[in-house]
Amino acid sequence: MSLFGLFYTIFGIGCKGVNDVKNIIEDNDHKTRYRNNETNTYLDHNMNKRDLSTNHIMVTERDYNGDVWLKDAQTGRYTQNITVRRVEQKYQEEKAKALRGESDRTHIKYGDDEHRKEEYPGIKYKDFKTGKLYVERYMIFTEEHYKMLHLWSGYGICQQSFSVLFDPETKKIVRLSDGTIEQMLGQGALIEDINKFFHKYVKEYYEHMAEPYSTWYKQKLYYETTLRPMADSLKDKFIEEGEARVKYRRSEK
């Protein structure tokens, strides 16, 4: 090796060493500045996501059901389902609000997985009181049901369907979804109207299901998933606000 070549090699090694030290210092700073406690990762000097424990480069991948997974790029192992953790955190936050009386919600959508391979498919909703997972099912109004709910006192009859929560374990209708109650209040019904309607509707539905040659009602309740999830309410205090509007409109008539 020539003298110039030797000098160039030594110089290169020296520069690399300086850069390595610089990168280490920068990474240590990033472990605090760009730390993500949820995934236990940080962004290194090249803005690569790295695991704080192993220092392996980590990437995120989306599963077929919509869940986001954290994957170790060096071992190929999936280390964490980020979606599940976020969904549970959101559930706990909304449940706490309901327990404090800050929300009228009774459940919340629990992830985006439609669970198509399960016997009773559908996106799951987790109940604040029981902690159980239910699925949403669409039901259809009849003219008699409209009248029973006093929906004519609102903006007119425009709500063609509503949804209930179905328990796959008991195969029973649990209750009306929060989103449906919010819609019914908006159409002019009070909670007392809604409760009377629900008990009558469920009784009728089970009677239809018990008919020996009728399979439509059972098929619809057990297996027909909703086209788009609408079970959750759009507001926290939807009952209080909704009933106040209905009572005001009724008092003017």
Per-residue pLDDT of the chain (253 residues; tens, 9 = 90+): 454 444 444 445 455 555 776 777 887 887 888 788 877 888 888 888 888 888 898 888 887 667 788 888 889 888 888 877 889 999 999 999 999 999 999 999 998 888 888 999 999 999 999 999 999 999 988 878 888 887 766 555 556 789 999 999 999 999 999 999 999 998 889 999 999 999 999 999 999 999 988 899 999 999 999 888 889 998 999 999 999 998 888 887 6
Strand partners, 175: 165
From 82, 116, 143, give the residue that closes a domain.
82
Cβ atoms of 64 and 82 closer than 8 Å:
no
Which range marks the domain in which residue 8 is found? 3-82
Chain centre to alpha carbon of residue 11? 57
Q: What pLDDT is attached to residue 105? A: 97
Residue 93 lies in a domain: no
Whole-prediction pTM: 0.74
Q: How far is CA 66 from CA 54, 83, 86, 185, 245, in A?
A: 27, 8, 13, 33, 38
Q: Do 111 and 236 belong to one domain?
A: yes
Q: Do 109 and 37 belong to one domain?
A: no
Q: Do 235 and 165 belong to one domain?
A: yes
Q: Do 215 and 125 belong to one domain?
A: yes
C-alpha–C-alpha distance, residues 211 and 62, integer Å: 45
Q: What pLDDT is attached to residue 11? A: 43
Q: Do 71 and 117 belong to one domain?
A: no
DSSP-derived secondary structure letter, 38: T
Cβ atoms of 76 and 87 closer than 8 Å:
no
Cβ atoms of 150 and 242 closer than 8 Å:
no
Q: Between the CA atoms of 142, 143, 144 and 148, what dihedral angle is there, to the nearest 10 degrees?
A: 100
Tokens, residue 5: 């070549």
C-alpha–C-alpha distance, residues 163 and 122, integer Å: 13
Hunting for tokens 């909704």 — which residue is that? 242
5-30 burial: b if 16+ Cβ within 10 Å, else e:
eeeeeeeeeeeeeeeeeeeeeebeeb
Q: Do 230 and 129 belong to one domain?
A: yes
Q: What pLDDT is attached to residue 4? A: 46
Q: Do 75 and 165 belong to one domain?
A: no
Q: What pLDDT is attached to residue 158? A: 59
DSSP-derived secondary structure letter, 81: E
Q: Do 168 and 229 belong to one domain?
A: yes
